[in-house]
Structure 1
Amino acid sequence: MRKAKKHLRSKEGVNHRIYQPKRVKNKNYRARRTTILISTVITLLFLAKIFLGFFNIEHVTFALFGNIHYTEGQVFDVLGENLDNIITDSEEKTALYIKDNLSYIEDANVTRNLIKRLLTIEITERKPFARVNFKVIDNTSINKDNTKHYSESLLLIDDEGYVLETISIEQFPHLIIIIDEGEVIPEIGKQIESHTTHIGIHILKTINTKERTIAKHLKSIDPRVSQKITIKIDSLPIPIWISEDMIDTGLHKISLFVRNNMISHIQNQETQIANNITKDQSSKGIPVYEKYEYLDIRYEDTLYLGGSNK
């Protein structure tokens, strides 16, 4: 008996394999693909050249806004020292680098346009506010009588206590001197952390805003002893003492003192005392001052003129 051939059948009929014929790519198709690939590579190379050559000094356009103290050249010179990093750093890191290396800059906003090769920097500069006569204690030269020896530096600061630069006594003569001391001179561009300096800044701000009468006479502030802050004004030959816990009250008293022309009264009284000193007064234990040495305004409702006895 012949074996019947088996046919694969589905319900619809016999299954046959269907093969899809290979497409024949013509020359135009291949040429198009090649052209697109070459164009893409050229574009990427062009963009890479722009990016990598962005901070080439010969091709960068530089725009600076808000500068008063610094010239464009000074800012650009600082950037030039760090060009290799600026090319990959963010705008925030670039701004931080500028602030760290230029002491007058309080804030900086940096934007870059790679296509135009344009670097734009908008800065806010710190303004000189006062001078700090900073005395560095020399611990190796203390005498037997505990007398301290100092080396001094004159620092220019802003109203937050940031050191802008080291200056000479001839520079910024219109700015008040705050006296402070420590073991190390504060760094340029950094904020002075000393409480003494910040008390001096607070006093100066209070005078400038509330007691303008004193402002034009003020010479220096020495807040190193909190309960005997020494203030000097050019129209009074003696120092004035106030305390840290009564700064506003003390400054107001000084203002009244100046307004009422008490300075000339003191000077006249000194002359009168000098001309009328008698042995009888000294023998009775009455203090006779040869010269006034300080004005003490540290106490409530009290103004005390002190001096040395004859």
Structure 2
Amino acid sequence: MTLRFAIPSKGSGYEATVALLESCGLRVTRANPRQYTAVLRGLPDTEVLLHRPADIVLKVAEGAIDLGVTGYDLLHELRGDDDDDVLTIIDDLGFWRVELVFAVPQSWIDVTSWADLADLAVEFQSRGRRLRIATKYPNTVRRFCYAQGINVFELVESQGATEAAPSLGYADIIADITETGTAIRENQLKIVGGPLIRSQAILIGSRRALRGNRHRLELVRQLCELIEARRRGRLFYSLTANLPGASVEEVGRKVTARHELAGLQGPTIAPVWSKFSGDSGWYAVNVVVPQEELLPAIDYLRAIGASSVTTVQVQHVFRAESEAFARLCARLDEE
């Protein structure tokens, strides 16, 4: 039985998804760029479907697609947080990081917070009209406004460049996603308050399509294992150094004296067969350390006599089980 796996059909979402899969040893191939189906090399019985990210959310909810990559902002907008038909399997794939924010004209110097927007909405009402908010996220913005005491407003659906709405006169302010804020500033707007939501690429699955289907679940497990291990591996480096010592035990004690630099579970130590006659008493030490501890670990190995240190970025770090898959199984077992 085939696993139906949907990814974004174009743009940065497609490119980042393909890059992530390829880094996991999974290659997306299609006969030509206009095809909306592809093969995922490295994961058997899997059909890749290319869709708009918003459609992926809806089709996963319907059970027409088993698994999909989309944005948290779209899931939040289209399905809400309490929809049991769509399960978030991995809540951060490492790309598509954006924030949904309010932005107002820069000339509104007295408007700097959500409370100011609530006051402004009341002021607009006293003038006989409503505060107009242009957005592509009406459900999210509506819920947020009511939660913040912004009770009198009108949502204007925006399908084009939302940032231009105030200058074109069909909205007073906007609520839109931004990565850097550049487009907002270029349209003479400023962000007020903090983000309504923070979003990133996520992996979602269909409860109705996956529940009780062992074959599809096994494919999902394999995919989760590879993604988690690859993302984990990027945070670690493998160090190899030659250290002098009288025995494995002596070298081991030196290396593990700095517990935080002694590897994930401890160093691997082996005698070095020297190419120079009579030059014995050297041991090869291998440790895996977090990226932020790379230089401190190198300095420490030097301090205890390392003649040289080589490093390799770790490709994958597998744990006893996939945490994402374990959470998915627990959710599927819920009544």
TM-score by length of 1: 0.19
Determine which structure has greater relative contact order: mean sequence separation of CA pairs < 8 Å that are 6+ residues apart, divided by chain length: 2
Greater share of residues in strand: 2
TM-score by length of 2: 0.18
